[in-house]
Amino acid sequence: MMRQFELVERVLAYNPNADEALLNKAYVYAMLKHGMQTRASGDPYFAHPLEVASILTELKLDDATIVVALLHDTIEDTDATRQEIDQMFGSEIGTIVEGLTKIDRLNLVSKEKAQAENLRKLLLAVSKDVRVLLVKLADRLHNMRTIEYVKEEKKQRIAQETMDIYAPLAGRMGMQDMRSELEDISFKILQPQNYAAITNRMAELENSSKKAIEIISKELEQKFTQEGIKAQVSARIKSPWSTFAKIERESISLEMLSDIIGFRVIVENIEDCYSTLGVVHTSWQVVPGRFKDYISVPKHNDYRSIHTTIVGPGRQRVELQIRTCEMHRIAEYGIAAHALYKDNVSENLKRLEQESKAYAWLRSTIDHLTDSNYPEEFLEYTKLELFQDQVFCFTPLGRLIALPRGATPIDFAYAVHSELGDICVGAKINGSLVPLTTKLFSGAEVEIIVDQNHTLPASIEGIAATGKARAAIRKTVRLAEQKRTISLGDQMLLAILHDEGLEFGDDEINKLAQEMEQENRQELAENIGLGVITSEDLAKCAAVFKGVHRVSSKKINLPIARTADGWFALKSSDRFRFRVPRGQGGNEKSQLLDSDTEVKISPEGLVPGDRIVGIMTKEKLITIYPIHSEALVDYHNNDVRWIDVRWDILTVEKRYHKVAISMLAQNKPGMLAKISSLIAQRDANIHNMVLHQASPDFHKLIIELELTNLPQLVDVINSLKADPSISKVNRASIIEARTIKNIDWNMNNPTQQIKKNK
């Protein structure tokens, strides 16, 4: 275990102005607080925070960060308090220590929701002070180094979480050495056989290549010296995990990899980088397609270097990385290479965001993702941002947009501006019109085609590859659905008040909303639209608010009979029975009502359990509508009677009922097969189907289903919504579903699935 003076000397070696007294006090305080605590290995627990501090000294971090490393487990695992740490070490250190403690209080490796919430907390804390991340990564690295003492099941979970979150996060912060070590340890735990095979084979290759490495290094150095370039040439071995990942990704053998052993050339300045490249390319044959200039276009994690592959000495393929000393330092330490914590923290954070693309990316990602109320989505989107490699595209005006590999024009549009993504309807790549599903490639000029009246389909989310785009799409779709619900609910609110003969001004409606424990009229309307507040509840509360008795002003004769519980049973067919509250159907004293009013079912179709409403026109025609019917909007300002109608559930027969649903589905092979399979798995039957092309990328389907009840319908709709290639799944009109009789079920060619009636 490292002794106190050794830790202080390490910090002073790179920071002579470090606060020795503060470091000594933190060392003693943490050691006393952890006392006789031990780790799973049997070592004193204090060895862990001490090793975390040691890792951070290798990154040459400020003394405050080293102190946080020593104290990071004290609040969680000892009797130390935030107040005590503030008093002894200052509020800045206390804030970081408490931030790390709050993150650890959730069991990171239990459930995905807890993991997602913990990641959110971590990134929020990091957005305020990046040192939280640096300590957390060092903490995870030491835990992985000693993970052999953990039980096997827990070991697997921790390794998977490290591979999913912490290693990619270290990579996105430019800390490649730390990322590689985290990945390799996790790889060894998760896939021990593959790890052993890769490492054994790489050891053999390294052994057999020693002489070749010496020859290549010597010849490179001689060439650079002849050209007057001061360069340090060194060989490096690719990490086991990155080697395995490339073999899996490209489906090739280990022997086919050209970059297991690479050479790093470090020069003095950027001009020498390009001079070195010129020497290499004029001296040896270049391997086509293997040149990348990350100096001109740096990666998101601030990585800058020139990569090229040549057929070098001995006809061997040699990968070269050419960079300056400063680029090499950032490549090794990443965001930790920015020593910005000497004076004002807030000012340094602003400087860091300006100087570091990695930190700017992190804060931008947090801004886009943390407003989600769904932790699982946050985890999904953040993983998308962490894992992807990059492609570089341009706007028509020449602005460079960096995106993950596999990104589409939708991602490009949202990267330019969220409003552009919301109205994107098409795209051109290098002047040619392409589907929105097209994968972008580096160097492409992308022009986004927009329509201000465009309604964003939820299925677009399945096309997007970036977390930013997916989060924005999900948010926009939710807001659109909420807006529609509020609009419908507000119309129902006014109709019910009018039906009750009650006059309410805008201020009174807001007061009524508060009486009903709603924040305002908008929230009241939304809950009416969602069915949380029933028309009966609203009518009662409105009457009490006005201080009036509820007496129906209109008498309606319906073909229904009064039942013992004060309701009237309405029979519109042999399949449906409904009930109307006493007082709506006519005079409360009526024993038997007239039967001169016709009752019909709306074209949407009904399923027992639907929330329903009756609309009575002047012609004494009552049509029963589901509460979600868009047709109800048209009755808002019309002279009609809204009737509270409910199912007489006890008399409803258990039989199949027809109901239609509509959806947008991606235009790709096998979609109809997938949709029919999802429906069949819920024991529902497809009675009829209409399909037409809504755009080059999507088809609109209207399907008439046969099922028994509302829960079964909800199950079908939810299963379809869960598929990312299907969106806008809603109830539809049965009339629409019956406009085409014959369907050609060619599942593998969705553009030729329909035979229209002639």
Rounding to the nearest 10 degrees, give the CA dihedral for residues 329, 332, 336, 342.
-30
Separation between Cα atoms, residue 352 and residue 338, nearest integer Å? 7
Greatest CA separation for the chain: 113
Residue 617: which residues within 8 A CB-CB, separation 6 or more? 623, 640
Asked whether the beta carbons of 274 and 219 are under 8 A apart, the reply is no
Q: Are strands 560-562 and 446-450 parallel, antiparallel or unpaired?
A: unpaired
Name the H helices within 557-655.
631-634
Separation between Cα atoms, residue 513 and residue 85, nearest integer Å? 48
CA separation (Å) from 528 to 539, 541, 570?
12, 13, 25
| Helix, strand or coil, per DSSP, at residue 30 | helix
Residue 605: which residues within 8 A CB-CB, separation 6 or more? 657, 658, 659, 660, 704, 734
User: Which positions are annotated as active-site residues?
Assistant: 76-77
Strand ranges, E, within 497-645: 560-562, 567-571, 577-581, 598-601, 612-616, 621-626, 641-644
End-to-end CA distance of the chain: 86
Residue 568: which residues within 8 A CB-CB, separation 6 or more? 558, 560, 561, 562, 579, 580, 582, 585, 593
Burial environment of residue 506 by CB neighbours within 10 A (0 to 12, 13 to 18, 19 or more): exposed
| Helix, strand or coil, per DSSP, at residue 325 | helix
Separation between Cα atoms, residue 287 and residue 281, nearest integer Å? 10
Separation between Cα atoms, residue 175 and residue 620, nearest integer Å? 76
- What letter does residue 647 receive in the DSSP assignment? E
| Helix, strand or coil, per DSSP, at residue 261 | strand
Separation between Cα atoms, residue 44 and residue 3, nearest integer Å? 13
Burial environment of residue 131 by CB neighbours within 10 A (0 to 12, 13 to 18, 19 or more): buried
Taking residue 315's Cβ as centre, other Cβ atoms within 10 Å add up to 7
Bridge partners, 663 (sequence order) = 701
Rounding to the nearest 10 degrees, give the CA dihedral for residues 744, 750, 752, 757.
50
C-alpha closest to that of 590 among 618, 615, 558, 621: 558
C-alpha closest to that of 468 among 364, 395, 374: 364
Using only C-alpha atoms, the chain has a radius of gyration, in whole angstroms, of 34
